[in-house]
Amino acid sequence: MAGSGSGYRWSKKARVEGCTTLDTSDLNRMKLLIPGTNNRSGSLEWRRGGQTEPSSTVGYLITVGETSGSLRLDYQMTQTKEKFDYAIPLVATCCHLGGRRWWFICPLVRGGVACNRRVRKVYLRGKYFGCRRCHNLAYMSSQESDSRVYAALRRGAHLHEFGNVTGMSISQLGFALKVLTAGQKRLDRIGKRINRDTRRRGPK
């Protein structure tokens, strides 16, 4: 995910597809979570690996106080052209070594009850950004590492600044290694078959 402060909020370019993730640590890195920020606008972009055109763009308007704030989002669904404009509340907790840790308050309502869960990440599934639990993303601890990777693969789009191998978690690297090993075994089998065929045919 990358940000720009050019202020093209409300622009027709704001569009989203697939599963896009918002992470408070990314917002922090983009220096968007600075107390005293008042109605700062811009856009957030997500790119698939290697592509120059963003796969999703969301306009934002952010206001940040000492311990709370609000991130207003606007975007349009690529396929249905439906437009959305709503705010996700932000809250900060103080770390015991100093500094603040920012959280989203999940804005979704399930069965008439507001979720209000405090989360570091909200995911766009369907039409709205919300917490993992609201979106029913698979999160069983036994399959946690793989399901996370599968979710990332399904999502397709990587956060702009971390769409490379060094940004992978240990579990993701483990999964990548499994894929490589399987690929290597297949190549070995093909190699053996070629050798066998060559031997059968004999030297020319």
Catalog residues that contact Zn ion under the rule CB under 5 A.
106, 108, 115, 117, 130-131, 134
Which lies closer to Zn ion via its Cβ, residue 129 or residue 175? Answer: 129
Which lies closer to Zn ion via its Cβ, residue 54 or residue 107? Answer: 107
Give the nearest distance from C-beta 50 to Zn ion in angstroms.
32
A 10 A CB-CB count for 17 gives 14
3-state DSSP assignment of residue 111: coil
Give the nearest distance from C-beta 76 to Zn ion in angstroms.
23
- What would the DSSP string read from start to end of 121-179? EEEEETTEEE-TTTTT----GGGHHHHHHHHHHHH-EEPGGG-SGGG--HHHHHHHHHH
Which lies closer to Zn ion via its Cβ, residue 109 or residue 194? Answer: 109
Give the nearest distance from C-beta 104 to Zn ion in angstroms.
9
- Residue 62's nearest CA partner among 37, 81, 44, 27 is 37
- Taking the C-alpha atoms of residue 68 and residue 185, their distance in angstroms, rounded to an integer, is 53
Give the nearest distance from C-beta 61 to Zn ion in angstroms.
22
Which lies closer to Zn ion via its Cβ, residue 131 or residue 157? Answer: 131
- Residue 27's nearest CA partner among 76, 93, 75, 71 is 71
